[in-house]
Amino acid sequence: MVLGLQMNVLAAPASGREPLPYIVTAHLPDAAALLSPADIHIGGWLGRRIMANATNRLLTIDTKPLLAGFQHRPGEQAWIGEHVGKWLHAATLAWAYTGDPRLRAKLDRVVSELLATQEPDGYLGTYPPDKRFGLYPGADWDVWVHKYDLIGLLKYYRYTGNQRALLACRKIADLLTRTFGPGGKSILSAGTHRGMAATSVLKPIVQLYRYTGDERYLAFARYIVKSWDAPDGPKIIHTLLVKKQVDKTANGKAYEMLSNLVGLCELARVTGEPQLLTPVINAWQDIVSKRLYITGGTSQGEHFHGDYYLPNQMSAQVSETCVTTTWIELNLELFRLTGNAEYGNELEKSLYNHLTAAQNPRGDDWCYFTSLDGTKPYDSGITCCHSSGPRALALAPMQAYLKGQDEGVDALLVSTFEPSSVNLALGGETVSVQQISQFPFAGKSELRFSPAHPARFSVRIRVPSWASPLTFTLNREPILALPCSGWAVIPARTWTRGDTLRFEFNLAPRLVPGDHGNQGLAALEWGPFVCAYDAGCNPGLPPASLLAFADTNSFHLRPGHGAAVQLAGNVRSPRFSGTKPAIFLPFADAGADGKRYRVWLPAPGTSFSTNISLLSAGVESRSRKGNVQGSINDGDLDSFVVTFDGRKRAWDWFAVTLDKPETIRRVVFVSGKVFHDGGWFDASAGKPYLQIRPSLDSKWETVGEFADYPATTATSSASLAKGSHPSFAVELPTAMKACAVRVIGKPACGDNPAQAFSSCAELEAFAD
């Protein structure tokens, strides 16, 4: 049955911020129903991050570049069209949460300007007519862009009732159904990553069916799922049922794959076919057991990799923020569908760690990748991750309080320990609940109930492993909560105004031993926070590469720092005897000042490496900043820097400066990556050479030559192109004191003589 548009005209939400109901009800109802963001308020640490996202990012972002690709086709990026839909999704939720009239006015303006660019046939992308819905060079994300049009406009419609937005979505979907499917093109032919980018339109197509009742959209959703099993398809369901591994599914591209699984959850909800969730849960279990960082992020270089491959360094391109966001979306879907606390636990882990670690605490900038060891590369450019991260934080209030059922009686589901509040209908009455909490500084909280009239309902509080055990009092009298699969359940009773449920939970520092690639290491945790050693908070101490945990029991909360959580405890180092106190911050806060941080340190009792460079505690520099921002003294050979700036220079150098002299005998220079247009030293007029400064106020002295450097020229990198991290050394005749060390040479130009540059992966010095 096809319902005409006239049957889909629903009144705008009464409060202006409550979601419209769906026309098509779910055949697989949510066990934990979402509430409107308008009915929830989050305070405390997470609440500040949510508000910073709303006010310092979503409200202030310049939307002109996001619309320019629609108004003047083609856009400057192949995927420039995705950003406005992502902004609409996040900004709509943020407006529903805050009620900020400035954000609503901006939403209305952007929607109006976007819809003005829709073509009569429904096209709302950024490509010219001859490069649409295919895999053309520089024009291969068309369905993907329309997916985000749908996601953003449907969210805006749901909370505003704007019929123009719904009509635009129908026109998009009608264009897609005319273009793809039986008798038309394969949707896989318009999607990168084995079609997964295009088929991830599944979720908004199903949602559009729910808003309209138009059976064509449900049929198109089923076609999308069927297309996965085409000979050239990603075979998402089949692989996850048989191999049960995400790295073996399609090409392992994490963002696109997770997006498809989110859509599969929505299809299962609408159709009532629980078997559709089996591959989703298989993927979830595979990620959690083998591919998830302690911080709740996953993937490297945007892909899923082999079992337990969890490198920490920046060069590994850890956990794309788009992946973190979509992982949060997937856990929220499974949390809703099942009510299982394990999904709430994963939401908490990601929100308090990898997602907010990618967000600048100011709220305005984001990281594309966020390593567990390195620096935070915040970047305000227009990237997929800058548009994705705000979506996850805009969703965060909705995981805090949900509504369920316990044996036919309404249940309040509490999944946050933050100071917060919620308003919802329970037991036929409107109930307000306020949580007065000392989290994250103490394990004490209380829920104050204010029903309009006495109401009967139960209360479930999620109990993550770090918080267990919980103890309860009701109106100052002890009460026993029943354990139930990760929840503490207060059985149904009649609640009256003034009832107060107090509970205490465990909140203490924990050293978690590492495994697999982190064997011999440990990480510090406090509640849901994974903590990191932050160099900026520890002036005078060696860098993290020269530190280890001294003991398990010395860590304690450092009071007197306002809203910030700080832990203090003892560390040891080969650079000093005994132990010294050090400060650790939550991973989400560490590195905000640009300084280095590290999550995993050697565990108590482990030995230090005997091959630690004396320069690891120094400050690095180079002759030109270049356009690759790695490091030359981080111990990571895959992290490198270059001096490329498009210009020619007679000399290039890479240096490390120490705050006090060290006795050195051997210096090692590790070449960085070479390119077609440079990245090495031209040795035709002389090999690169070594210089030192005996003191900070002395001049550079030449003390040796890297004689084993190959016979390169300005245009030939010789054997360097074939080598993996080629290294070259200078052995000094006698040990020397040095405050600074540098390698200097003539940069090479490769096939572009208009410029020249060099590269360096590591500069190390040793006493013997």
**Strand 689-693 to 701-705 pairing:** antiparallel
pLDDT at 230: 97
Question: How many Cα atoms sit within 13 Å of 438 on the Cβ side?
Answer: 11
Q: What is the pLDDT of residue 562?
A: 65
pLDDT value at residue 7: 32
> Mean pLDDT for each 10-residue chunk of the chain (768 residues)?
34 64 96 98 97 98 97 95 98 98 98 98 98 97 98 98 98 98 96 98 98 98 98 97 98 98 98 97 98 98 98 95 98 98 98 98 97 94 96 98 96 98 98 97 97 98 97 97 96 98 97 96 98 94 92 88 85 93 97 94 89 88 92 87 96 95 96 95 95 94 96 94 86 95 97 97 94
Q: Which residues contact 612 (CB under 8 A, 6 or more apart)?
A: 545, 546, 574
pLDDT tens figures, 231-278:
999 999 999 999 999 999 999 999 999 999 999 999 999 999 999 999
Sheet (strand 40-42) strand order: 40-42, 420-426, 429-437, 444-451, 500-504, 471-474, 477-479
53-90 burial, b if ≥16 CB within 10 A, otherwise e? bbbbbbbebebebbbebbeebbbebbbbbbbbbbbbbb
Instruction: Enumerate domains of the chain plus CATH numbers.
Output: 24-53+235-397 (no CATH), 59-232 (1.50.10.20), 402-504 (2.60.420), 512-602 (no CATH), 619-766 (2.60.120.260)
Pairing of strands 409-414, 455-462: parallel
Provide the pLDDT for residue 1: 29
Q: Which two tokens stand for residue 281?
A: 């849960």
Asked whether 731 and 665 are in contact (CB, 8 A), the reply is yes
Is omega for the bond preceding 661 within 30 degrees of 0, making it cis?
Answer: no
CA 143, CA 198: separation in Å to the nearest integer?
Answer: 5
Lookup: tokens for 412: 């309040």
Instruction: Note the pTM of the prediction, 2 decimals.
Output: 0.92
Nearest 5°: phi and psi at 214? Answer: -80, 115
d(CA 8, CA 21): 11
> How far, CA to CA in Å, does 511 sit from each of 311, 525, 590, 599, 608?
19, 6, 18, 11, 18
Distance between CA atoms of residues 40 and 36, nearest Å: 7
Q: Which H helix or E strand runs over 107? A: helix 101-115
Q: H-helix or E-strand containing 548?
A: strand 548-549
Say what the pLDDT of residue 40 is. Answer: 98
Number of neighbouring beta carbons within 10 Å of residue 154 = 24
In percent, the amount of the chain with pLDDT more than 70 equals: 97
Dihedral Cα 120, 126, 129, 130, nearest 10 deg: -160
